[in-house]
């Protein structure tokens, strides 16, 4: 891998799990002359400073973006419009604005209208994460071997796209280009629907009678245990995902509930052949996921 500075000044608007993990990579490999973190809460900025993963911090998005050749929005999607409006006046001509949001079509609609001419918007989405949040939860190997999906609108400057892609390659990611709407469709099934379902089943457990609920927690088995991990993810981030990928989520959810109803009927009538047939078919998908080497959850290996 080549080394050296990729950007003079990177502004990270939001320094949670993803932003702080990227900051760690940039710091470790010296990929930027200066990294500034922007967050609303003083504790978050204090943590980023204490961890020594950024060069400076500020509460003001406009101040962070001033003079930056790369601004990455790492906040929940619902805040993007406000962030874009705040940074717009201080963006330099030729600056690149990117993001890490889990939904891409809504992001284009929220950000693009605010950006001045001469600023390049290169949205992207690292398919990596854990259920933990905040700057302490990040680690510099989070993106290794993971996909970074880059979804620039047609006509985006190719050099800007390549500069963002290179940053993520340095973080260890594989980069693939995708249409924003298509991204949202794929992620609805790989990520958004599973999260919605996990939240639901853990919510169903939350509503159980106290005695039963305490036993469900105590004897938590494979299945529920995994669901609780998924359902431990950041509430605001996920609220915004569902509010901003409604159509794809509802479409895939419709398919899912149809299939669940069919399976429920198979259980009710005792159709063992139908159950076994589905249960055998799904193994092939698992084999595919393992073969694609995306089956191991990312965990910190070197630092906490």
Q: Which is nearer to a copy of itself, 93 or 223 (CB)?
A: 223
Residues 253-292 that bind a copy of itself (CB under 8 A): 253, 255-257, 259-260, 263-264, 266-268, 270, 272, 275-276, 278-289, 292
Q: Say whether residue 159 binds a copy of itself (CB under 8 A).
A: no
12: which strand partners?
A: 37, 72
d(CA 7, CA 69): 6
Stretch that binds a copy of itself, among 1-9, 59-67, 114-122, 202-210 (CB under 8 A): 202-210
The answer to whether 252 touches 188, Cβ cutoff 8 Å, is yes
Euclidean distance between CA atoms 126 and 220, whole angstroms: 31
Residue 120's alpha-carbon distances to 34, 88, 94, 101, in angstroms, are 20, 12, 7, 17
Size of the site for a copy of itself (CB under 8 A): 95
- Work out how close the CB of 117 gets to a copy of itself at its nearest, in angstroms, rounded to a whole number: 32
Evaluate whether 226 touches 201 at the Cβ level (below 8 Å): no
Are 5 and 29 in contact by the 8 Å Cβ rule? The answer is no
Segment interacting with a copy of itself (CB under 8 A) among 4-12, 14-22, 48-56, 183-191: 183-191
Binding status of residue 181 toward a copy of itself by CB under 8 A:
no
Residues 14, 38: contact at Cβ < 8 Å?
Answer: yes
Q: Interface with a copy of itself includes 210 (CB under 8 A)? A: no
CA distance 210 to 29: 51
Q: Does the protein bind a copy of itself through residue 233 (CB under 8 A)?
A: yes
Of 82, 297, 301, 303, which one interacts with a copy of itself (CB under 8 A)?
Answer: 297
Q: Which helix (H) or strand (E) holds 8?
A: strand 7-13
Least gap, CB of 190 to a copy of itself (angstroms): 4
What residues form DSSP beta bridges with 175?
Answer: 148
Q: Which of 37, 45, 165, 230 binds a copy of itself (CB under 8 A)?
A: 230
Q: How far is the CB of 92 from a copy of itself (least distance, A)?
A: 33
Site string for a copy of itself, 30-59 (x = CB under 8 A): ------------------------------
CB atoms within 10 A of CB 130: 18
Residue 286 CA to residue 262 CA, distance in Å, equals 22
**What are the residues whose beta carbons fall under 8 Å from the beta carbon of 67, sequence distance 6 or more?**
8, 9, 90, 92
> 119 vs 241, which CB is nearer to a copy of itself?
241
Residue 70 CA to residue 159 CA, distance in Å, equals: 13
Q: Which one among 58, 92, 156, 220 touches a copy of itself, defined by CB under 8 A?
A: 220
Choice from 63, 115, 228, 300 touching a copy of itself (CB under 8 A): 228
Joined tokens for residue 39? 């967050």
Contact predicate 15/39, CB 8 Å: yes
CB 124 to a copy of itself: min, Å: 13
The single residue among 218, 299, 302, 304 that binds a copy of itself, judged by CB under 8 A, is 218
> Quick one: 1 or 273, whose CB is closer to a copy of itself?
273
Of 5 and 289, nearer to a copy of itself (C-beta) is 289
Q: Which of positions 70-109 make contact with a copy of itself (CB under 8 A)? A: 78
């Amino acid at each position: 891998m080549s080394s050296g500075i990729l950007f003079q000044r990177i502004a990270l608007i939001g320094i949670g799990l993803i932003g702080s993990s990227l900051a760690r990579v940039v710091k470790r490999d010296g990929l930027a002359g200066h990294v500034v973190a922007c967050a609303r809460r003083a504790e978050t900025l204090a943590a980023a400073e204490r961890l020594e993963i950024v060069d400076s911090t500020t509460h003001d998005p406009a101040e962070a973006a001033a003079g930056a050749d790369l601004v990455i929005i790492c906040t929940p999607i619902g805040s993007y419009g406000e962030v874009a409006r705040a940074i717009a006046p201080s963006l330099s001509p030729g600056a690149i604005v990117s993001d890490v949001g889990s939904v891409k079509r809504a992001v284009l609609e929220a950000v693009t209208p605010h950006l001045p001419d001469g600023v390049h918007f290169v949205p992207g989405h690292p398919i990596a994460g854990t259920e933990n949040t905040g700057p302490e939860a990040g680690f510099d190997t989070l993106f290794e071997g993971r996909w970074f999906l880059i979804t620039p609108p047609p006509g985006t400057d190719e050099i800007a796209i390549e500069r963002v892609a290179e940053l993520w390659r340095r973080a260890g990611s594989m980069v693939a280009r995708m249409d924003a709407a298509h991204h949202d469709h794929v992620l609805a099934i790989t990520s958004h629907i599973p999260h919605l379902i996990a939240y639901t089943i853990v919510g169903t457990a939350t509503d159980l009678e106290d005695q039963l609920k305490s036993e469900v927690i105590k004897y938590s088995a494979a299945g529920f245990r995994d669901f609780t991990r998924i359902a431990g993810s950041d509430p605001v981030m996920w609220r915004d995902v569902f509010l901003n990928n409604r159509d794809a989520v509802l479409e895939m959810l419709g398919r899912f509930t149809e299939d669940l109803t069919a399976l429920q009927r198979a259980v009710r009538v005792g159709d063992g052949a139908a159950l076994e047939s589905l249960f055998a078919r799904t193994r092939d998908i698992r084999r595919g996921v393992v073969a694609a080497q995306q089956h191991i959850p990312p965990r910190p290996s070197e630092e906490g």
